Structure 1
């Protein structure tokens, strides 16, 4: 096959994920930087909540980049990247953008294909992970038809 049709995450879809992520961030009491990238790892939408750390802006974008580009959550590397681990040094790849701690998840379509990534930063890796999971869950609910929204 010479070409492949690829579903794309829209700006409207990214806004749904951001809104749900911001809601979760407010619930846990931590303002966040939240980034959404498309399947090609390019920034699609970004939110900086009022008290989010300025130094976490690029971290959120890099988490989304890693999740979309490598097609798995950033938290999956936790054990593998320690000295002596099978992926030691992985965080130094891609110009230092490859992120190996929690807070980044791929966004997939109903076929399991990666159509984007979401990253959050300012809290602990566990808090960042909660925030991005809320965004993914909200978008999956819309894509599955459980929740009506215009994409």
Structure 2
């Protein structure tokens, strides 16, 4: 049986996502910590803008980790993790890295496979999500321009 190959997010793709996310952060006036991980949840690229909160560095990384590892945006858990919710306590999993508030999104190829994740932190969860969405959309746009989703990004 042949091994299945999977598209991978490269450093080039991560830099595209970071540049777009930083531009969005500047547009809304909130310096951010922005992390990109690969599909295996390992850090691929990181940016800390000048006024981003030091305490948000690990939060941005954990949002990217959660989005890539669980394959959905971190905002999806908001209601489920409250006391009595179906996923109450989930935030304590993975050594406390599992993030259950907005600001982390998976990065997917055309087939819907997760090739990475992006997380941002310093603003409100809505601002963080707006910033990471810009990063995801930038990667998707480049892939559309290439006419395919390949391992080039």
TM range (shorter): over 0.9
- Superposition map of 1:1-151 within 5 A: 1-145=1-145, 151=153
User: How far off its partner does 1:43 sit?
Assistant: 0.1
Give the structure-1-normalised TM-score: 0.96
Inter-partner Cα distance in structure 2 for 1:146 and 1:11: 17
Superposed CA RMSD = 1.3
Give the structure-2-normalised TM-score: 0.95
Three-state SS of the structure 1 residue aligned to 2:145 is coil
Inter-partner Cα distance in structure 2 for 1:146 and 1:9: 15
Unmatched 5+ stretches in structure 2: none
Deviations 1:119-149 (A, max 9, x none): 00000000000000000000000011179xx
Deviations 1:74-127 (A, max 9, x none): 000000000000000000000000000000000000110000000000000000
Unmatched 5+ stretches in structure 1: none
Runs of 4+ in 1 over 3 A off after TM superposition: none
